[in-house]
Structure 1
Amino acid sequence: MKYEKLFAAGRIGRLELRNRIVMPAMGTSLAAASGEASDEMIAYYEERAAGGCGLIITEITRVDNETGVGTPNQLNASDLLYVPRLEKLARAVHRHDSRIFLQLQHPGRQNHGRLIGGKQIVAPSAVMSSAIGEMPRELTTEEVEALVGKFVFGAYIAQLAGIDGVEIHGAHGYLIGQFLSPLTNLRTDKYGGSLEGRMRFLCEIVQGIKKTCGAGFPVSVRIDGDEFVPGGITLEEALLTALQLEKLGVDCINVSAGTYESSNTIIEPISYPQGWKKHLAAAMKQAVQIPVIACDVIRKPDFAECLLEEGNTDFVALGRALLADPQWGNKAAEGREAEIRTCISCLYCIQEVMECKVIKCAVNARVGRELEFPEPQQNGDGRVVAVVGGGPAGMEAARVLAERKFKPVLFEARDVLGGSVELGSRPPLKEKLNWFLDSMEHQLEQLHVDVRLSEKPTLEQLRELDPYAVFVAAGAQPIIPAIPGVTGDNVCTVVDVLSGAAVIRDKRVVVIGSGMTGLETAEYLAEQGNQVTVVEMQPRIGPDAYLPNLIDIVTRLKKNGVQLLASTKLVEVREGTVVLENVSTGDISVQDTDAVVLSIGVSPERGFVNELKRVMPQVKVLGDAAKPGRIGQAIQSGFETAYVLK
């Protein structure tokens, strides 16, 4: 398919862009501790520029070191000392005919005192964010005026460094958005009250940048089309804000949504479909004449093209899609869409950054590590490597081995590839996992990997291959606890349910374990007409789940009538009932049930590995077979082990 709109040149102000693909700001924690653009950060952005991105907008960039520290390792534009490294970043992007904006930001009340030396966080007004739990102090009028100057100076630094423009972050509930919102701005000075007053802080920043950097220096403003918070910014008010910004000479509006209190509308979990909030950008484009950028959970090139054809937006912001595959643009332009490694919206990337670690991607082990893992050496010399297990770790290992010119032979006991990821794609709203698996399978086909389905190799078969190495990625087995009655016919595992080995419909079902697998299986069972109860020993449901993912699925489970019992232990399984114990009180209860589904984790099998190690020269253990974990750990295990094989 030809994507004529997607790859048409575009303009933001006087700046011409080679296509309509924008990489929006995403936190990375890749900056040096000093706040300078590190070599790792430069390599990360350069790879996306080389991959076909027209415009890159950097992560949130600090303009104020006193109250505006957003992350520990954050890009900084508060002092002239940051110019040389920013200039190096700009040159790296420019040599691939891409352009770059610096996004200037202050977190305001969406921050923690520990990041600013224990001082109290600040905001337009003393209104606490329920997502943060720290009461901010109200900025004085003089402090607000000083912050205007700091934003302007940040833009000046960007211009000095040869950066092509700046984006002012007025969305996602950060400081500027807090001034714009009637929910968080209760001020009575010139920076509060009516929309005009609430906009004054932002307007003075824009005016200051235009005066200092010149009218031709592009300025984008990112605003929320809707905060999705009661009493917050609505689309109607966002349109009025955009119209006023256009009059001030802003060159572009970047439309987003949400605050930390509605975080799933900013960085959406897997259940959100492509384009769920496209009405926000569409309304904005109808209201203003300047270009509009929209971030609409875009994963596929054909969907991006449709948005442009429909006139919903002028530029498509791909976000996490470019973490998963930095070559997204080039592959789409060259008709290689099937090769695009699709983002699965698992939130692994943001979870890592929010935990003060560098950015990672579940399906791309090289994110942020481009310097650590340049293109691998092609020195396999056709040597055979047996890969046992066709889950994510095994598939990734086979892919990298093939690229290195080894000859991988991939064995999978089931009749499909994908392992636990394929099973995990079966609950409702998990289709993005299939997109990822489809791209992985396509890559293996392109690399002519010998894939042997429905085949669990014996030791003798592996000996006949005479492999240079054996990679064991055969996953792990469900844990079966030593509980009376657990071996009965009315007990099965989540693997049995999701594989179709156990079909349960219109029954009373108790799911034991509330990890994400247990919760997703509970939703799957509820959609089969079952009456479902989830039992969890820990004090809260989903004890190890990332909170946004947990909120997403628990909201749906409650709508489906699923009962969630925390601090509850399975004591015994009987015919037609289960015996449960409240671990806090010791109280015993009996609940009627037709089926029990176990989801209490998995354990690696060591026997086969130990046998192999006795007779094979090199045995590598990957993924769940080494240590049970998430997709990200499995992909990383497969990638790194295959990359370093000598």
Structure 2
Amino acid sequence: MKYAHVFTFGKIGSLMLKNRVVMPAMGTRLATADGEMTDQQIRYYEERAKGGTGLIITEFTTVDFELGRAAINQLRIDDDCLIPGFRRLADAIHTYGARVFVQLHHAGRETTSYLTGGKQIVAPSPVTCEAIGEEPRELTTAEVKEIIQQFVDGAARCQAAGIDGVELHGAHGYLINQFLSPNTNLRTDEYGGSFEKRMRFIEEIITGIKERCGADFPVTVRLSASEFEEGGLDLPLSREIARYLEKAGADGIHASSGNYNTMETVIESPLYEEGWRVYLAEEIKKEVNIPVFAVGNIRDPQFVESILEEGRTDFVAIGRGHIADPEWVRKVAEGREKEIRMCISCLHCVYTQGPIECSVNVRAGRELEFLKMAKIDEKRSVVIVGGGPGGMEAARVLALKGYKVTLFEKNSKLGGQLNLVTDPVYKKKMKKYVKYLNNEMARLNIHIRRNTEASVELIKLLDPYAVLLATGGIPYMPDIEGCDLHNVCNYRAIKVEDSVLQGKKVAVVGSGMVCHSTSRRLSEQGNEVILIEVLTDSAKKISPMTRKKLQEKLQNEGIQVVTDHEIVKIVPKGLILKEKETGKKVEIDADQVVIAMGVQAYNPLEHPLRMEMENVFVIGDAAGNTSLADATREGFETAYALESLVKEPALK
């Protein structure tokens, strides 16, 4: 078998798993405001179980809803009335032969008084988390013992609900992590001081669960094997912790990393290499005989097989990859690797407001809304203009529904703006997504007319049932004095038209991925580059950690980054800026100014088409939207609901 190690049975304690793939805990915000399980939440997990995953670990589930939650709409397991909801979850997952653990969690200092109803947040010691900025109250010894009991009670409720085991969230800077770390545990009672005393909190939780639920009820621990923070948990200390946890009765260790102060090592930006954290699991595995889970930016089936084959880990946790494609495991098992919709690490799932969303999988968190792809009764023709992500997603869905789809793309390559990504690490991820979309076009027999500028006449010849315009955008040029000078150009001249500047002093204006990649290309061509960061709509879609990482990478490559300034005007030999705080004007010398502030809608066909036919729909950048998530969502939703949107007849 091609993936023999992936599809080998595995054991956690006495529990048998059908393969070595785990879906780790990830927040969904799909619970009710009171932390109760919802039908949509169950369906979300059920879909991943149906997709073949061996073990599903629920999102972090608080054992203390009053002081222990870290997010709105977070699951809770601190009351017996919640057991039926978890029972329904367990039953749904077990239907497909998968197993389910609940991740038991207490936030400690990594929450806010907003979430605790105005009460001061709590921790082992009054050490403020820099990322939170609120000083916690030190827990009394009696309160510590109460929280231990809350973990034990939570595990007992899980067992009563038919859940297969629990994972203790001892990572990412939450309460258990705070007891383990010398940085955050400064206590002088029985739960702090020496290594053994810092271990006592989690040891008593494990012991309590085993006594209450039985020795065969699995208890694993998610551990930040390195917090990547001076004085915090590191590999030497975590090796010792791992050995101690095994003796205490833990049945497995999930080797993660980071805390809120080092968040980009918890949930990686697009700029991290695949599997960069596997070495943490590998080192922990050398210390223990219980199974170890590797996690962190793992996507590719061959990579998963290789780290299992090499004995670097016992199980592989694929997190955001399961959000992007719930059928990851099934597609690998059936030899359909090209059909896997790979996660691109864009962090949209993390930073979107409200329930979970995915830039490349519109159904994520909305599985109940899009239960079935209804087939049409008769063959109908649909024309799509534009081969970017929105146009291709619409084409994919329409083809699955039975439409005959013709897609016009004026260039030779499909992918649109996705082809402009140049950061070496991010480009690899984006190329995989573009390759997936191209493969879907071929697999579903979608007629692609490359190097063809669509026109009203060409479209009318196909007598379409509907037309979807996904013509994208053109570079946005701001209303700044001097933008029309000869020393000013837009980013397309550099990235698409391959204009080469060498030995020049170049100022790049903008923000976002295109802006950063333009700056990098200019630097690689031998120019002295200064980036004037001006916040744009597209840049607002980038997570703070990705933005920070991008800035650091540019600075490491010798590119100067100027923030907190406004552009007054562009002049023949540079720009004049104004410092936002002081109003002081600063002149920047530059031979060339490159505007890279995103796109504005390009939609020349809408008006003439509407003069000829009824059913014209505009999606993505062409409709004035600026993100991959918007384009994908509009392409999917328009195609999914097309029959209800169409007015007959197509042609007037």
Compute the TM-score of the two structures, normalised by the length of structure 1. 0.96
Which residue in 2 is equivalent to 1:460? 457
Shift of 1:641: 0.5
Which residue in 2 is equivalent to 1:624? 621
Task: Output the CA distance in 1 between the equivalents of 2:627 and 2:535.
Answer: 20
Shift of 1:537: 4.7
Task: Give the conservation status (yes or no) of the 8 Å contact 2:391–2:470.
Answer: yes
Which residue in 1 is equivalent to 2:252? 252
Which residue in 1 is equivalent to 2:52? 52
Task: Output the CA distance in 2 between the equivalents of 1:245 and 1:589.
Answer: 58
SS at match of 1:224: strand
Task: Output the CA distance in 1 between the equivalents of 2:48 and 2:425.
Answer: 32
Residues 224-273 of structure 1: CA deviation (Å, up to 9, x unaligned): 11000111001111111111111122111111000011111111011101
Which residue in 2 is equivalent to 1:600? 597
Which residue in 2 is equivalent to 1:504? 501
Which residue in 1 is equivalent to 2:106? 106
SS at match of 2:71: coil
What amino acid does structure 1 have at the position aligned with 2:346?
C
Residues 335-385 of structure 1: CA deviation (Å, up to 9, x unaligned): 111110010001111112xx4x11111100000100000121011632111
Shift of 1:503: 2.4
Equivalent position to 1:389, from 386, 390, 397: 386
What amino acid does structure 1 have at the position aligned with 2:365?
G
SS at match of 2:130: coil
Residues 34-61 of structure 1: CA deviation (Å, up to 9, x unaligned): 3222110111001000111000000000
Task: Output the CA distance in 2 between the equivalents of 1:626 and 1:24.
Answer: 36
Structure 2 residue 76 is matched with structure 1 residue 79: no
Shift of 1:422: 1.5
Task: Output the CA distance in 1 between the equivalents of 2:589 and 2:32.
Answer: 58
Task: Output the CA distance in 1 between the equivalents of 2:165 and 2:123.
Answer: 27
Equivalent position to 2:525, from 525, 528, 541: 528
Task: Output the CA distance in 2 between the equivalents of 1:201 and 1:127.
Answer: 18
What amino acid does structure 1 have at the position aligned with 2:387?
G
What amino acid does structure 1 have at the position aligned with 2:78?
S
Residues 269-298 of structure 1: CA deviation (Å, up to 9, x unaligned): 111011212211111111100000110311
Task: Output the CA distance in 1 between the equivalents of 2:545 and 2:153.
Answer: 35
What amino acid does structure 1 have at the position aligned with 2:619?
L
Task: Give the conservation status (yes or no) of the 8 Å contact 1:271–1:430.
Answer: no
SS at match of 2:605: helix
Task: Give the conservation status (yes or no) of the 8 Å contact 1:380–1:407.
Answer: no
Equivalent position to 1:451, from 421, 429, 448: 448
What amino acid does structure 2 have at the position aligned with 1:384?
S
Which residue in 1 is equivalent to 2:648? none
Task: Output the CA distance in 2 between the equivalents of 1:386 and 1:542.
Answer: 31
Q: Which runs of 5+ in 2 are unaligned?
A: 644-652
Task: Output the CA distance in 1 between the equivalents of 2:158 and 2:622.
Answer: 48
Which residue in 1 is equivalent to 2:273? 273
What amino acid does structure 2 have at the position aligned with 1:517?
V
Of 525-534 and 379-388, the range deviating more from structure 2:
525-534
Task: Output the CA distance in 2 between the equivalents of 1:214 and 1:345.
Answer: 39
Residues 392-449 of structure 1: CA deviation (Å, up to 9, x unaligned): 1001000000000011111111111111112125666432011111011111110000
What amino acid does structure 1 have at the position aligned with 2:561?
L
Task: Give the conservation status (yes or no) of the 8 Å contact 1:428–1:524.
Answer: no
Equivalent position to 1:474, from 471, 476, 484: 471
Structure 2 residue 351 is matched with structure 1 residue 376: no
What amino acid does structure 1 have at the position aligned with 2:49?
A
- Percent sequence identity over matched residues? 47
Task: Give the conservation status (yes or no) of the 8 Å contact 2:500–2:525.
Answer: no
What amino acid does structure 2 have at the position aligned with 1:486?
C
Task: Give the conservation status (yes or no) of the 8 Å contact 1:8–1:19.
Answer: yes
Which residue in 2 is equivalent to 1:547? 544
Shift of 1:199: 0.9
What amino acid does structure 2 have at the position aligned with 1:33?
A
- Cα gap change, 1:198 to 1:380, in 2 (>3 Å): farther
Task: Give the conservation status (yes or no) of the 8 Å contact 1:476–1:628.
Answer: no
Which residue in 2 is equivalent to 1:556? 553
Which residue in 2 is equivalent to 1:200? 200
- Cα gap change, 1:61 to 1:426, in 2 (>3 Å): closer
Task: Output the CA distance in 2 between the equivalents of 1:148 and 1:34.
Answer: 22
Which residue in 2 is equivalent to 1:402? 399
Which residue in 2 is equivalent to 1:15? 15
Shift of 1:69: 1.8
- Cα gap change, 1:584 to 1:141, in 2 (>3 Å): closer
Shift of 1:561: 2.2
Task: Output the CA distance in 2 between the equivalents of 1:627 and 1:572.
Answer: 26
Residues 278-323 of structure 1: CA deviation (Å, up to 9, x unaligned): 2111111111000001103111000000110111100000000010
Structure 2 residue 491 is matched with structure 1 residue 494: yes
Which residue in 2 is equivalent to 1:435? 432
Which residue in 2 is equivalent to 1:644? 641
Task: Output the CA distance in 2 between the equivalents of 1:293 and 1:585.
Answer: 52
Task: Output the CA distance in 2 between the equivalents of 1:615 and 1:380.
Answer: 26
Of 505-514 and 282-291, the range deviating more from structure 2:
505-514
Residues 471-529 of structure 1: CA deviation (Å, up to 9, x unaligned): 00111121223445433443222233222432233421111112343233223332333
SS at match of 2:150: helix
Task: Give the conservation status (yes or no) of the 8 Å contact 2:541–2:627.
Answer: no
Task: Output the CA distance in 1 between the equivalents of 2:212 and 2:121.
Answer: 29
- Cα gap change, 1:633 to 1:380, in 2 (>3 Å): farther
- Cα gap change, 1:428 to 1:505, in 2 (>3 Å): farther
Number of residue equivalences: 643
Of 574-583 and 132-141, the range deviating more from structure 2:
574-583
Task: Give the conservation status (yes or no) of the 8 Å contact 1:396–1:635.
Answer: yes
Residues 84-133 of structure 1: CA deviation (Å, up to 9, x unaligned): 11111001000100000000000111101111101111111111111111
Which residue in 2 is equivalent to 1:615? 612
What amino acid does structure 2 have at the position aligned with 1:491?
V
Structure 2 residue 128 is matched with structure 1 residue 131: no
Aligned ranges for residues 35-46 of structure 1 at < 5 Å? 35-46=35-46
What amino acid does structure 1 have at the position aligned with 2:474?
Q
Task: Output the CA distance in 2 between the equivalents of 1:132 and 1:410.
Answer: 49
Task: Output the CA distance in 2 between the equivalents of 1:397 and 1:288.
Answer: 49
Task: Output the CA distance in 1 between the equivalents of 2:337 and 2:143.
Answer: 50
Task: Output the CA distance in 2 between the equivalents of 1:416 and 1:215.
Answer: 58
Shift of 1:583: 4.8
Task: Output the CA distance in 1 between the equivalents of 2:45 and 2:525.
Answer: 45
Task: Give the conservation status (yes or no) of the 8 Å contact 1:538–1:567.
Answer: no
Task: Give the conservation status (yes or no) of the 8 Å contact 2:386–2:409.
Answer: yes
- Cα gap change, 1:186 to 1:524, in 2 (>3 Å): farther
Residues 506-556 of structure 1: CA deviation (Å, up to 9, x unaligned): 4211111123432332233323332111113569x9666421111111111
Task: Give the conservation status (yes or no) of the 8 Å contact 2:277–2:294.
Answer: no
Task: Output the CA distance in 1 between the equivalents of 2:70 and 2:137.
Answer: 17
Which residue in 1 is equivalent to 2:179? 179
Task: Output the CA distance in 1 between the equivalents of 2:533 and 2:275.
Answer: 35
Task: Give the conservation status (yes or no) of the 8 Å contact 2:124–2:178.
Answer: yes
Structure 2 residue 157 is matched with structure 1 residue 191: no
Shift of 1:581: 3.8
Task: Output the CA distance in 2 between the equivalents of 1:219 and 1:138.
Answer: 27
- Cα gap change, 1:538 to 1:282, in 2 (>3 Å): closer
Shift of 1:32: 2.5
Task: Give the conservation status (yes or no) of the 8 Å contact 2:511–2:535.
Answer: no
Which residue in 1 is equivalent to 2:27? 27
What amino acid does structure 2 have at the position aligned with 1:504?
L
What amino acid does structure 1 have at the position aligned with 2:191?
Y
Which residue in 2 is equivalent to 1:240? 240
- Cα gap change, 1:579 to 1:358, in 2 (>3 Å): same
Task: Output the CA distance in 2 between the equivalents of 1:537 and 1:557.
Answer: 16
Task: Give the conservation status (yes or no) of the 8 Å contact 2:268–2:296.
Answer: no
SS at match of 2:115: helix
- Cα gap change, 1:178 to 1:200, in 2 (>3 Å): same
Of 519-528 and 339-348, the range deviating more from structure 2:
519-528
- Cα gap change, 1:586 to 1:167, in 2 (>3 Å): closer
Which residue in 1 is equivalent to 2:649? none
Shift of 1:73: 1.1
